[in-house]
Amino acid sequence: MVNTMVERDGGGPESRFCLAPIDGFEIVDVWHTSGMRGTGSNDVACEDLFVPEECTVLAADLRGDNPPGATVHPEPFTSYAFTPVLCMVAASPALGGAEAAVDHFRDLVRDRVLPYSLGERQAEQQGSQIRLAEARATVRAAHLVWRDAIDTICDVHDEGGTIARVDRGPLRLAAAHVVKLSRQPVTIAADGAGASVYFESHPLQRIQRDLETLKGHVVYDWDRTAQLAGKLELGAEPLLTDML
């Protein structure tokens, strides 16, 4: 599935998602990143590829309040708002990474003897105890924000309602907030874990790199997302290009 702009006679360009056979594409190997390497998010290229209109859908319909699939499938999930669901699903690896990072930090602290000490155990250091508790509390906060947004989406749509684009600012903000909060316990853990966690074999450094990369995605860009949510709350109308 690829997104494209379609120009029609007498009208402006429209954004459409297209389903096309993968053998019509070339995969361009550009995904050489410091984090999120496992997604394999390479570019794709095609030339003179025809896609029949019945294999396309308007982006506005897919992201709107009445997606085409909802007319033929009775399952309520097919009518869920596309972008809020996508944002919350894609934020879940950040939350899971944060949870795992705190677990790794706890296990490390339990067994670690501080270097250049007379056998002092890190688990006995008050600073490490406080650091672990703060990281765990922050993960819990991120989880509650994540769960509350999911419950809001499910409750509205399962009761047959819809969430208008102008009302989706808090959901975009919640998704970005989950990623922002998830980065904090990872940093708290890494700052107190010593240099050994930066060996390539240690999972904590990978989690940190993955979350730092994820935060750069457009829907998790905190400045842009907060600005969007703020302007909507103040009564501004969303733009067609606003990912809601």
The pLDDT, as a whole number, for residue 61 is 85
Closest-CA residue to 145 (of 122, 123, 178)? 178
Residue type, 212: E
38, 1 in Cβ contact below 8 A?
Answer: no
What domains are there in the chain, each with its CATH number?
Answer: 2-63 (2.40.110.10), 77-233 (1.20.140.10)
> pLDDT by residue for the chain (244 residues), tens digit each?
998 888 888 778 888 999 999 998 999 999 999 999 999 899 999 999 999 999 999 888 888 777 788 888 888 888 888 899 999 999 999 999 999 999 999 999 999 999 999 999 999 999 999 999 999 999 999 999 999 999 999 999 899 888 988 999 999 999 999 999 999 999 999 999 999 999 999 999 999 999 999 999 999 999 999 999 999 999 999 987 888 8
186, 97 in Cβ contact below 8 A?
Answer: yes
Closest-CA residue to 117 (of 203, 194, 21)? 194
Residue type, 190: A
Residue type, 160: G
- DSSP annotation string for the chain: -EEEEE--TTS--EEEEE---GGG-EEE-----SS-GGG---EEE-SS----GGGEEEHHHHHSSS-GGGGT---GGGGS-HHHHHHHHHHHHHHHHHHHHHHHHHHHHHHPBPTTSSS-BGGG-HHHHHHHHHHHHHHHHHHHHHHHHHHHHHHHHHTT----GGG-HHHHHHHHHHHHHHHHHHHHHHHTS-GGGGSTT-HHHHHHHHHHHHTTSGGG-HHHHHHHHHHHHTTPPPPTTS--
70, 30 in Cβ contact below 8 A?
Answer: no
Give phi and psi for 174, each to the nearest 5: -65, -45
Residue 215: CB atoms within 10 Å = 17
**Distance between terminal CA atoms of the chain?**
20
